[in-house]
Structure 1
Amino acid sequence: MFPVQASLARSAFAFWDPLGLGRAAVDYWQDACERSVLYFDVMRERGNQYLEHIDKTAPNVLGFDAEVLLDGRTLTHPVNYELMRIIAPQDIEIDEDKRPFVVVDPRAGHGPGIGGFKPDSEIGVALRAGHPCYFIGFLPYPVAGQTVEDVVEAEVQFLRHVIDLHPQTTERPMVVGNCQAGWQIMMAAALEPDCFGPILIAGAPLSYWAGERGRAPMRYTGGMLGGSWLTALMSDLGDGHFDGAWLVQNFEKLNPANTLWSKQYNLYANVDSEANRYLDFERWWGGHVVLNAEEIQYIVDNLFIGNRLSTSQLTTRDGRRIDLRNVRSPIVVFCSQGDDITPPPQALGWIGDLYDSVDDIQANEQTIVYCVHDTTGHLGIFVSGSVSRKEHAEFTANMDYIDILPPGLYETTVTEKTEDAANPDLIDGDYILEFSPRDLDDIDAIVQTNAEDERRFASVARVSDINLGLYRRYFRPWLQAVMTPEAAGLMRRMHPLRMGYKLLSDRNPATSALPVMADAIKADRHQVADDNPFRVFESMLSDQIVSGLNTYRDIRDQSTEQAFMAIYGQPWLQTLTGLGASDDSRRHLNCPGAEPEHRRFVEQRKHELCARIDRGDSHHAVMRALIYVLGGAPSTDERNFQRLKATRAEVEPNIDLASFKALVREQFFILKLDSHAALDALPTLLDGERAEQIEAYLEHIEHVLAASGPLDERCEARLATVQELFGRAKPAVEPESSPASTTRKKPAARKKKTPPSGSSS
């Protein structure tokens, strides 16, 4: 840019500038001018990309080809969702016998596709693992009258269609729900648990009142605005539609330093290398969608403000209760300390809301696994390539292992495989997935439940109902009488976020010279070195701007929190909203208790299991022994499962994975119910087996246990107990054997026994 002027300036400074500062200034000035032109040209491309994207009938940002299998607009209760099959790239081979993999994208202001945004994504990981992949996305505008419940029912029908497409596998689909889609599929799984395999919810808020003081500022928004009346107002201004751009704007306000400076400055400072990445992300970030007024009002009233999902207060139109304790699939919760939209307390708080103890989780036959990342942000949970290559790859590769984990609460960690790791051939990839048993105290340490804060949020919910009622009674009729579809459409088009894209596009005549100037600069680019003193000063100035905006954010959030605590902590306000009428904290905080029908179910289940303690065969004995020994271990990892999977075919050849999972759960509960009686029954379960067969079962158990390294003292003691009980089961006198049978170390096939009535085999 300006080569003649720059050349003359350099010549003038050559004599008078022995330190080179003048030359450095000229070089920096030329580079800064060129970067400015290139920056605005990228913004022009962003605007053109936005206009092209919104003109599509079904826009998405998937990085893979896909075909629509089922259109939600054709269902009995039509919705703007659709089921798509992902077409694998030519260099990837799909095994149709593997468990189907379904990704559900969030409809929280942005368009669909973020779960398959690039090769290193949730869909990309599953494709490389050979799974048939499906994607549930949506269109920009809702069907008239569609509700959240309609969407949930549509997702259930989509999953049933996926199951019908894979009759050869008995395993239900693994379902991934990102952000808003996480609570949506949890609702669906609570209503139709038989349609779901393992569920992975990534960055999904389920407990909206939870949060650590000094963090999670979004949870105060509803209270500071006086409840959900403003949501109703914006929906009425949209003539029955809510513009998702308002949700996106809320996200952007959380981090003003990034929104107002860092994101744009990073592009300007590195415009030669960052343009494509920036444009790819903006294609999704700017793809704003619209929700029905009924949908957003349901979400805000029942979830954001009412917190009714994690407390089992929601019911369907036909009277069914949405109770997350009905979910029968393993649930993997993936969250991050660096996530300011869905912090770990909001991702995990529902566990303490629904369950009194780990025993309660186990009584509900529920398996919950959680993983807390240290640093990644909200979008990084399901967009970051490093996260996909590590956590998502391990979750996908070990879903069968998670599927057979005994009921309970586990924390999982993903650590890098080291050179001295035991049995490295049993580790899938470059990382080890380890599971450690946890109890609710560990969850409480993350959630930091505060009863006084819970009472404040309960006050917000009731104040919101009052204000919403006043708005609907006295203001809405007047607004609806004057609002027209044309006016609502104009307001959406004039939204500041949308205008930011449109103003810098080819529709603006002032940008016509940008592409010509940018091409000329790219042909003769004069990029300054990073050690240029003026470039260094620019970076320092940027850091100061970021620091200042972060300070503003911290003061704003701290002030908001203090105001919220002061206003909604007033005893008179809590009394006026009805919270002082009872001392039953679980009632006024909307916490579900142990219902009589649930207690009857647990007691009935105990009686059934008591009758099965000494009924079964070697399948039951081997699994009971393994669970008993591993139950004394502080943790277990994928190597135990890989060894078990590899050797099960030798010792237990006639059991499929679904039956194996049922067997694990049954034996776990039997040991939990009465461990002494369960162990004493081991010789009975092995009655009739030959001594060499019993030895083969013991070798199998020891082989599996040794997979993850040496056992600790407690597990060694438990293994010794199992060895003694298996030895007691050996017949006193071995029957005559043929020469062939005396020479083999393990039986080629186990003697088949007829399982007793009611057995899981």
Structure 2
Amino acid sequence: MLTPQCSTHFRSRAMFPVPASLATSLTALWDPLGIGQAAVDYWRDTLERSVLYLDVMRQRGNQYLEHMEQTRPTVLGFETELLVDGRTLARPVNYELLRILPPDGVEIDEDQRPFVVIDPRAGHGPGIGGFKPDSEIGVALRAGHPCYFIGFLPFPEPGQTVEDVVEAEIEFLRAVIARHPQTTERPMVVGNCQAGWQMMMAAALEPACFGPILIAGAPLSYWAGERGRAPMRYTGGMTGGSWITALASDLGAGSFDGAWLVQNFEKLNPSNTLWSKQYRLFANVDSEAERYLEFERWWGGHVVLAGEEIQYIVDNLFVGNRLSTAQLLTRDGRRIDLRNIRSPIVVFCSRGDDITPPPQALGWITDLYDSVDDIQANEQTILYCIHDTTGHLGIFVSSSVSRKEHAEFTANMDYIDILPPGLYETQVTERPASASGSVDGDYLLEFSPRELEDVEAVVQPLQEDERRFATVARLSEINLGLYQRYLQPWLRAWMTPEAARWMRRLHPIRLGYKLLSDRNPATVPLPVLADAVRANRAPVGDGNPWRAAEQVVSDNIVRGLDAYRDLRDRATEWAFLEVYGQPWLQILAGLGADRGEVPNRRPGRAPEHRHFIARRRAELRAKMDQGTSHDAVVRAIIFVLGGAPSTDERNFQRLKATRAEVEPGTDLAHFKAVVREQFFVLKLDAVAALEALPTLLATDSVESIDRQLAHVEHVVAASAPLSASSQIRLERVRTLFHTAREAARERMKKAEGGAKPELPRA
């Protein structure tokens, strides 16, 4: 093509040289608007970008092949030390416990609470939780926590089950606890996506091993969803149930290729899969290549699941929705009931997530509990944080999310651990100027108590839809039984491990990586051409009209693909609702003619559960006037803050800093237990609990009571000026403390006069 450099070179060797001024004048006459020259520049830039794009794709293919040839492929950005190999356990699994070695310049305090990240095994390889410095692990390391990582190998162990993996994670946590005998705090555990629900199962079976739990983008309630959104929840019904999963496992000779899961994710957003992701690289190939290759290293690291694992997941969770309704049993008869979890649970989700939308992340709360009183009676603290825009991967990959939400969750895990039982919404806001010196970092973590109706407004449960999903679950069992009886024996007899390996190699997603790699002889010229282009690169700017037209075409392609997606999703939803909403089909599926609530949907309404709540209340009522001055202070603080505190981390910073002033020698674990106990007492009978304050202070001196009241006032005023109602409650507390103070003065006078003071019952 003709470029300005070429024109100058030509003119210098022409028989009749043309003066530069004359050449400029002729060019202006020939192309007065510069459109022709812009077109020449654009087409040169386009050809150069095409060569560079193909070379990046060649590098992607080479990277994929190198990654898959590794024994332990991972995208972790930190050095690690293997502590426990899951293949050595009594029931072997392909999981392993790794210790994160802190990078240079990062100091770790072994006395701090351990921090454990469990990576999702949903088609991709491990490492996304520590993908880069600004990640879940990176944030915890900078905060000084000893960090551990639970990852996995590409292929499962023979006979491995989901229950085996859950038991292995419990063993890993016990190993972490044993490495830190100096701390009484249990590890904070983070479960991303699939690892989130798997971790919740482990915490329900062995709650003593877990500290605060953070589940990020984890779908626990698979029937939940808002109409017009979350089309993945209809997949099981549109394929006739889980028999298709059994078919894929049988074609894999007992193994399920994770590339099929990745393909399902990619189908959710065809404009990004088919165009935007690749065009972004093509349009910005000079600056985007490194980021693209870094991400593709994880996205293309496909792993394999055991057939037994994926079948259990689809039957019991995706189609059956049995986890959120306490219907799962282990092989030895233990019920997996999420109400058994005693650690605070932080649910982090996003409205921009089309894989785990907020209803699926939060629906388990409305499935399990009848009210906030029910949550409190189970001594559970549940917090949820809904991001406005980030996508599914951004929840645990985005650097901005890590620096903001994950950094605040990590920095305030002790505060989260001390919150009274109940339901809260958390928000991360910019730190106000008034918080300087009292809060570290640029953000402030705030908590607001919520009712179950607030979660229902997000989940939007519909009984008629739940009947439809229950119909799918029944028909899935029928179809799976028919498949297992008549087709499965023939496929298993015909399929060999070698044939299964060839099928995995020929999967369209895997093949796309291999065809554009150095194993394809057609790619041999690419690196040479790419080097030549980089040496003489002539990019055009955004002001080029042809480049602007290219962007317009790209935007139209995206809009077209988005329109196709929306039409496809609406048609899928309509078909699902129409087919599975038919009364005759629901009756044939065994649901009966009653259009009421789906059976076994609200464990919180079970009679035995109501008996448990009544028994718990009786136990607390007996403790109303029992305790120490420490209990009185905590009870007073909770009362002034309105029962369930709507507050932020500044309260806890002051409370923690002055804890020793109230009761020297009190450790944080005991302090947290006191907070929970006093919250229950106030919730049961606030009037009687307050009237008991002078009794709790009966053995204290006047000076001690004054100091404790000052402490109460100091803590409740930490975050912001008190509201009018809080001021009224604070005056009530002052009156009660004054009554105790006067009683203490009278005791002191009697003691000085030689009379033996009468002590109220402690």
TM-score with structure 1 setting the length = 0.95
**Superposed displacement of residue 3, structure 1:** 6.0
Aligned to 2:484: 472
| Aligned with residue 500 of structure 1, among 495, 506, 512 | 512
**Superposed displacement of residue 144, structure 1:** 0.5
Could you say if the C-alpha distance between residues 34 and 733 of structure 1 is closer, same or farther in structure 2, counting changes exceeding 3 Å? Answer: same
SS at match of 1:708: coil
| Aligned with residue 691 of structure 2, among 666, 671, 680 | 680
Q: How does 1:6-85 map to 2 (within 5 A)?
A: 7=7, 13=27, 15-85=29-99
Say whether residues 1:722 and 2:733 are aligned partners. yes
**Structure 1 gap segments, 5+ residues each:** 737-752, 757-761
AA of the residue aligned to 2:244 = L
8 A Cα contact 2:702 2:745, kept in partner = no
AA of the residue aligned to 1:205 = P
Say whether residues 1:322 and 2:336 are aligned partners. yes
| Aligned with residue 114 of structure 1, among 111, 118, 128 | 128
SS at match of 2:658: helix
SS at match of 1:135: strand
SS at match of 1:112: coil
More displaced stretch, 404-413 vs 525-534: 525-534
Say whether residues 1:258 and 2:269 are aligned partners. no
**Structure 2 gap segments, 5+ residues each:** 11-22, 750-758
SS at match of 1:425: coil
8 A Cα contact 2:352 2:390, kept in partner = yes
Say whether residues 1:646 and 2:657 are aligned partners. yes
8 A Cα contact 1:46 1:505, kept in partner = yes
Say whether residues 1:352 and 2:363 are aligned partners. no
Aligned to 2:387: 373
8 A Cα contact 1:632 1:715, kept in partner = no
AA of the residue aligned to 1:514 = L
AA of the residue aligned to 2:703 = E
**Superposed displacement of residue 14, structure 1:** 5.3
SS at match of 1:585: coil
Q: How does 1:273-422 map to 2 (within 5 A)?
A: 273-419=287-433, 421=434
**Superposed displacement of residue 632, structure 1:** 5.5
Say whether residues 1:515 and 2:527 are aligned partners. yes
Could you say if the C-alpha distance between residues 255 and 222 of structure 1 is closer, same or farther in structure 2, counting changes exceeding 3 Å? Answer: same
| Aligned with residue 695 of structure 1, among 683, 706, 712 | 706
8 A Cα contact 1:370 1:410, kept in partner = yes
**Superposed displacement of residue 520, structure 1:** 1.4
Could you say if the C-alpha distance between residues 633 and 288 of structure 1 is closer, same or farther in structure 2, counting changes exceeding 3 Å? Answer: closer
Distance 1:670 1:634 in 2: 15
Q: How does 1:127-276 map to 2 (within 5 A)?
A: 127-276=141-290
Deviation by residue 1:421-442 (Cα, 9 ceiling, x = unmatched): 3x43222211110000001100
8 A Cα contact 1:99 1:169, kept in partner = yes
Deviation by residue 1:325-375 (Cα, 9 ceiling, x = unmatched): 001000000000000000000000000000000000000000000000000
Aligned to 1:571: 583
Aligned to 2:756: none
Say whether residues 1:454 and 2:466 are aligned partners. yes
How well do the aligned residues superpose, as a CA RMSD in angstroms? 1.8
Distance 2:745 2:115 in 1: 51
**Superposed displacement of residue 615, structure 1:** 1.2
Distance 1:607 1:557 in 2: 52
AA of the residue aligned to 1:385 = S
| Aligned with residue 105 of structure 2, among 82, 91, 95 | 91
Aligned to 2:642: 631
SS at match of 1:295: helix
Aligned to 2:569: 557
SS at match of 2:626: coil
**Superposed displacement of residue 599, structure 1:** 3.5
Aligned to 2:452: 440
**Superposed displacement of residue 2, structure 1:** 7.8
**Superposed displacement of residue 252, structure 1:** 0.2
AA of the residue aligned to 1:347 = A
Distance 2:573 2:617 in 1: 47
Aligned to 1:747: none
**Superposed displacement of residue 675, structure 1:** 1.1
AA of the residue aligned to 1:687 = A
**Superposed displacement of residue 624, structure 1:** 0.5
8 A Cα contact 1:40 1:514, kept in partner = yes
More displaced stretch, 313-322 vs 576-585: 576-585
Aligned to 1:742: none
8 A Cα contact 2:654 2:718, kept in partner = yes
AA of the residue aligned to 1:36 = S
SS at match of 1:426: coil
AA of the residue aligned to 1:377 = G
Deviation by residue 1:242-295 (Cα, 9 ceiling, x = unmatched): 000000000000000000000000000000110000000000000000001100
Distance 1:67 1:618 in 2: 47
SS at match of 1:409: strand
8 A Cα contact 1:632 1:714, kept in partner = no
Aligned to 2:723: 712
8 A Cα contact 1:586 1:593, kept in partner = no
TM-score with structure 2 setting the length = 0.94
AA of the residue aligned to 1:732 = R
8 A Cα contact 1:6 1:26, kept in partner = no
Distance 1:223 1:735 in 2: 76
Distance 1:688 1:351 in 2: 43
8 A Cα contact 2:82 2:99, kept in partner = yes
AA of the residue aligned to 1:438 = R
Distance 1:633 1:480 in 2: 58
8 A Cα contact 1:148 1:298, kept in partner = yes
More displaced stretch, 285-294 vs 629-638: 629-638
More displaced stretch, 409-418 vs 343-352: 409-418
Aligned to 2:620: 609
More displaced stretch, 483-492 vs 518-527: 518-527
Q: Give the % identical residues.
A: 73
Say whether residues 1:621 and 2:632 are aligned partners. yes
Deviation by residue 1:601-659 (Cα, 9 ceiling, x = unmatched): 33332222222111111111000000111126772100110111111122222210110
Deviation by residue 1:215-258 (Cα, 9 ceiling, x = unmatched): 00000011001111111111100000000000000000000000
Aligned to 1:732: 745
Distance 2:287 2:535 in 1: 15
Distance 1:64 1:703 in 2: 43
AA of the residue aligned to 1:509 = P
**Superposed displacement of residue 48, structure 1:** 0.2
Could you say if the C-alpha distance between residues 256 and 583 of structure 1 is closer, same or farther in structure 2, counting changes exceeding 3 Å? Answer: closer
Aligned to 1:746: none
Aligned to 1:739: none
Aligned to 1:740: none
**Superposed displacement of residue 600, structure 1:** 3.7
SS at match of 1:427: coil
Distance 1:240 1:145 in 2: 9
Runs of 4+ displaced beyond 3 Å? 1-15, 581-584, 593-601, 732-736
8 A Cα contact 1:586 1:592, kept in partner = no
AA of the residue aligned to 2:67 = H
More displaced stretch, 292-301 vs 475-484: 475-484
Aligned to 2:673: 662
SS at match of 2:576: helix
8 A Cα contact 1:624 1:671, kept in partner = yes
What count of residue pairs does the alignment treat as equivalent?
737
8 A Cα contact 2:119 2:151, kept in partner = yes
AA of the residue aligned to 2:352 = G
